[in-house]
Structure 1
Amino acid sequence: MKLVHLKNSDLKVSPICLGTWQFNGNTAGTSMGTWNAQDINVSKKIVDAAIESGINFFDTAEAYLNSEKVLGDILDGSYKSRRSDLVIASKFGFNATPGSNKPVSYTPADIEDSLNQSLRSLKTDYLDLYQVHWPEVMNNVEETVKELKRLQSLGKIRYYGVSNFGPQTLKEFYDFGGEPVSNQLPYSLLWRSIEYEIIPECAKRNLSILAYSPLAQGLLSGKYNDSTSFPNGRRRIRLFNCKSTPLAVHTESGCEDQVFKALGDIKQLLTQLNVCKKSGLDIQDDGDGKEQYGMVNLSLDWILSNLNVGSVIVGASSADQITQICKNASSSLMNTEMKRKLDEITEPIKEAIGNNPDMWFTKSRYK
């Protein structure tokens, strides 16, 4: 897998980044039921498969229960001698109490404390990328920028970035002297809200986008044909009716019909174009597997065809999943005509969701 440079940095990262939100240390029901419990041995196999497949980029956060510690134990145990080859990213910022929607407001002292705890959990002396998880976790923007620069000067972080920042908060961060190298944002064929305002702003500032939830939390895996088959915890997102799960915190009716029509149209497009056969890809056939893996790689290629995207953050529940994704990562399924068709198929969803990129809240936390 060919490494790419994050803009305005010397960080060379794989275009596929392993997201470790699912590394929960075998704790079920974390993150409001988004992910099932994942055994630590499974997490280790996923990391092993990722590194063997060419991934050098790992993303975690203090808000992901147990994730930093699980990832740290794995990397320290098997890959300590290769630390300089790996790019480890984490984030500060989380809700005040479990189940609360109120974030902690971080002072400079809080940021340093959080970083030190992350370093201990990850068993490393430095982070390659330290990110502000949400704009609202900053007690004071100017003080936050100064603290990140101070931590950078101490060698505790190589670079810093932001996450979930809209045009207004990006401007404010830059106005106080901030020099982020990335903005981590939700982006997929089924979630294109950042195209309205945020991508143009990032492009103007030459800021790399790290795309999270690139498979719309699994909808683009090709496994789901209706809302009832989709896991309860993941139906919190605004694509689904707020009444579809008691875990939803938005108040909208969603656009489920458009979502599943689009998924059907994408499968049909793959069949019509016979993408897998024409590309000569080595795709595992697992029942309906050719459609499933074809949809996954097509979805990731569509994101990476956007020159503003530096890497896509992909989670996995098994080593086989990450191996298969990486196996075909260098064989792009994308061309101009296919991108146009995919844009056309998913345009009704983009219009229904509008310019609010917040996957979970009706009142956007993006500004």
Structure 2
Amino acid sequence: MLKRRIGTTELEASVIGYGCWVISGSDFWTGTGDESSIKAVQTAYDMGINFFDVAPVYGFGHAEELLGKALKGKRGKIIIASKCGLVWDDQKRITNLLSKRSILKEIDDSLRRLGTDYIDIYQMHWPDYNTPIEETMDALNQIKKEGKIRYIGASNFPVKLLNEARKYGEIVSHQCLYNMIDRNADFYHNIPLYYRTEEEIIPDCKENKTAFIPYSPLCQGLLTGTFKPGENFDEKDVRNANPELKGEKLARNLQIVEELKKVAERIGKPLSQIALNWLIKNETVTTIIAGATKTAHIKDNVESAAWELDNETYKEINTILDKYQKK
């Protein structure tokens, strides 16, 4: 497995990481269960993946618990990245909260659920504009000094806020939405994005030697080439909130997929591998958050790091993407 260094740290992550949102439980993702989720995480590890990205809000603590169970006894061989800043109440209503008091509670809850005494990269999940970033960074620096986390990361931060955070401590990684469809997206699951990944985030990461970690690399399954017009998952599935997977946007995106399928057929590679390899081709990409629960899909993800798109095919793909982006 190809590995890349995480920013200025000594950590080296597999270029294909494992995203744990998919192990939140059957109430959140169609066709998943605890037993299969644990097996999936262990399969990913066995296939060479050492970077596992999770968050407390995934399954309201459930994903962290499953990850801890699945990787018990392997702690020194893996990199765990979790998050803070999305908290929920008894009715499971979620709030953005990055106050010092909340972070000091969140970290202890995450460590307990994961069954570990430290988290490698602790990421601010989404901005909290009601809390001064100085207060947030003060909390993160404190738990870093205490040894509960090794490094601080960010997720979904506009560059202006990220630069403000950098005044109070080092940010080693930045995780943002990025794939062939969502290159400079305005929204994610109907949440406004106050950043443009390709135009702003990737150049910023390159300039500041910050690890860039793209999430949703297959546009939540769209770039596997298996989606059809209409409904592709049941009504409880979290992907119902993704505007790219419904209505006119889905229709347009399926046209892109059909053109990309022709490229895939010509070079003899699955579309999903091409989508991941397209990301790997960008050297600013450090590790890709790819979630999967089926062994075949995990194997497919891992195999995407074993070959490289040639420059001509890479340009051809970008021409296709640019054509539809302008529509």
TM-score, structure 1 normalization: 0.79
For structure 2, the 5+ residue unaligned runs are 185-196
Q: Which residue is 2:83 aligned to?
A: 91
SS at match of 1:217: helix
1:15 & 1:71 partners in 2: Cα distance? 19
1:45 & 1:230 partners in 2: Cα distance? 22
1:349 & 1:96 partners in 2: Cα distance? 38
Counterpart selection for 1:123 from 115, 118, 138: 115
The answer (yes or no) to whether the contact 1:127–1:157 under 8 Å persists in 2 is yes
The answer (yes or no) to whether the contact 2:87–2:97 under 8 Å persists in 1 is no
CA spacing shift, 1:213–1:237, aligned 2, 3 Å: same
1:84-163 residue pairs with structure 2 within 5 A?
Answer: 84-94=76-86, 96-97=88-89, 100=93, 103-136=95-128, 139-163=131-155
Total equivalences in the alignment: 310
CA spacing shift, 1:137–1:157, aligned 2, 3 Å: farther
TM-score, structure 2 normalization: 0.88
Q: Which residue is 1:36 aligned to?
A: 30
Counterpart selection for 1:275 from 268, 277, 282: 268
2:128 & 2:259 partners in 1: Cα distance? 38
Q: Which residue is 1:15 aligned to?
A: 15
SS at match of 2:220: helix
Q: Structure 1: which 4+ aligned runs deviate by more than 6 Å?
A: none
The answer (yes or no) to whether the contact 1:103–1:136 under 8 Å persists in 2 is no
The answer (yes or no) to whether the contact 1:191–1:350 under 8 Å persists in 2 is no
1:93 & 1:227 partners in 2: Cα distance? 34
The answer to whether 1:308 aligns with 2:284 is yes
The answer (yes or no) to whether the contact 1:94–1:137 under 8 Å persists in 2 is no
SS at match of 2:153: strand
2:44 & 2:285 partners in 1: Cα distance? 20
Q: Which residue is 1:178 aligned to?
A: 169
The answer (yes or no) to whether the contact 1:189–1:342 under 8 Å persists in 2 is no
Q: Percent identity, aligned pairs only?
A: 30
CA RMSD of aligned residues (A): 2.0
1:178 & 1:188 partners in 2: Cα distance? 29
Equivalent position amino acid for 1:46 in 2: A
The answer to whether 1:239 aligns with 2:239 is no
Q: Which residue is 2:198 aligned to?
A: 195
SS at match of 1:28: coil
The answer (yes or no) to whether the contact 1:126–1:157 under 8 Å persists in 2 is yes
Equivalent position amino acid for 1:199 in 2: I
2:233 & 2:33 partners in 1: Cα distance? 22
Counterpart selection for 1:73 from 50, 69, 85: 69
2:39 & 2:97 partners in 1: Cα distance? 36
CA spacing shift, 1:86–1:239, aligned 2, 3 Å: same
Equivalent position amino acid for 2:321 in 1: T
Q: Which residue is 1:284 aligned to?
A: none
SS at match of 2:169: coil
CA spacing shift, 1:322–1:163, aligned 2, 3 Å: same
Equivalent position amino acid for 2:95 in 1: P
SS at match of 1:223: coil
